[in-house]
Amino acid sequence: MGAMGSVHGTQDGRARSQEARLEAALECMPLFRDLEPDDLAALAATVRTRRHRRGDVIFRQGDPGDGLYVVLNGRVKIWTTGDGGGEAILATLRPNEFFGALALLDGAPRSASATAVEATETLTVPRERFRQLIDEVPAIRDHVIVQLANEVRRLTTHVEELHFLDIAGRLAARLVRLAEEQGPPTSGSEITLDGPITQGELAAMVGSTRQSVNKLLGWLVDDGLVRLDRDAIVILDLPGLRRAARR
C-alpha cells in the first residue's frame, strides 16, 4: 500500500504540475488573458497538449473541426493544395497564436491544412468548451472576431498581390510582411527572419517555383536588401525592400 500510495502521489503531483504549467501558459495568451484565475484553472483542466515533429500534419483540409489550437512553441503553417497538387501557404503561426476557429464557428469542415514547420507543441481547446467560452466570455468572443477580421484583411492583401504584383514584387512584399510580423529588431537595423525558411516555402507563399525564388533572392542580395545566411534570411534594408515591392 505504501508503494502504491507513493505512485499515486507522484502521479497526482505530476498532474498538478502540468495543470500549473498550462495555467501559466494560458495566462500569457492574449486570447485567454481576461479570464479570472478560477476560470483559467478550469480551462487548464480541460485542454490537452500535443508535441509534433517537423512535418507532422496537425489536421487536414476537409477534416471536421474538433477543437481550437494554440501554438505553445514552434511554428505551424496553414496551407491548401490545388487540383494539380501545388501547395499554397496562407500563414505561418508563432507561439501564442491560435488557429482552427473558423470550422468551430460555422460547423463546416477545415478550410485548410495545418502542419508543424519545426518541432512544435500545441494546446487544444475542445470544440464544446470553446463554444462555451465564446458564449460566456465577451472578451474571448471579441478577440476571436478581431482575429478573423485580421485573417480576412491578410487574405485580401494576398489576393491583391497575386493579381497586381509580379513575382519579384510578391516576394519582396512577403519578406516585408514576415519581417513586420516579428516586430522591430532587438538591436541594429538587421532583421533575421524566424526560420529556417526554405526557398520552397517562400515559393508556396508567393505562388511561384523554387527556381524562380532562388533567382529573385539573388537579385535582392545583389541590391543589398537581404543577406542569405546558412539557415536564415536576413533583412538588411526594410525600407528598400518595401520600395522593391512597389516597383
Q: Collect the ranges in the chain with pLDDT lower than 50.
A: none
- Claim to verify: residue 117 and residue 19 sit in the same structural domain: yes
Bridge partners of residue 71, in order along the sequence = 122
- Claim to verify: residue 44 and residue 142 sit in the same structural domain: yes
> Residue 9 and residue 28: Cα distance in Å, rounded?
29
Question: How much is the pLDDT for 184?
Answer: 73
> Residue 234 and residue 126: Cα distance in Å, rounded?
39
CA 112 centroid distance within chain: 13
- Exposed (0-12), middle (13-18) or buried (19+): which is 167, by Cβ within 10 Å? middle
Cell of 147: 482575429
- Claim to verify: residue 235 and residue 184 sit in the same structural domain: yes
Domain range holding 211?
A: 166-246
124 located within any domain: yes
Cell of 3: 508503494
- Claim to verify: residue 218 and residue 106 sit in the same structural domain: no
The 3-state DSSP class for residue 187 equals: coil
- Claim to verify: residue 112 and residue 192 sit in the same structural domain: no
Cell of 191: 532583421
Cell of 69: 489550437
Whose cell is 511554428? That residue is: 75
- Claim to verify: residue 58 and residue 105 sit in the same structural domain: yes
> Residue 165 and residue 56: Cα distance in Å, rounded?
33
Q: How does DSSP classify residue 65?
A: -
**Side-chain half-sphere of 19: how many Cα atoms within 13 Å?**
16
CB 90 within 8 Å of CB 158: yes
Question: How much is the pLDDT for 14?
Answer: 64
Number of domains in the chain: 2
3 located within any domain: no
5 located within any domain: no
Residue 171 is part of a domain; what is its CATH number? 1.10.10.10
76 located within any domain: yes
233 located within any domain: yes
Of the three residues 118, 136, 161, the one that is the final residue of a domain is 161
CB 231 within 8 Å of CB 196: yes
Amino acid at 167: I
- Claim to verify: residue 74 and residue 193 sit in the same structural domain: no
What are φ and ψ of residue 92, in 5° steps? -125, 125
- Claim to verify: residue 151 and residue 190 sit in the same structural domain: no
- Claim to verify: residue 79 and residue 137 sit in the same structural domain: yes
- Claim to verify: residue 173 and residue 156 sit in the same structural domain: no
The 3-state DSSP class for residue 141 equals: helix
- Claim to verify: residue 148 and residue 240 sit in the same structural domain: no
Of the three residues 161, 176, 206, the one that is the final residue of a domain is 161
Of the three residues 109, 131, 161, the one that is the final residue of a domain is 161
Task: Write the pLDDT tens digit of every residue in 205-237.
Answer: 999 999 999 999 999 999 999 999 988 899 999
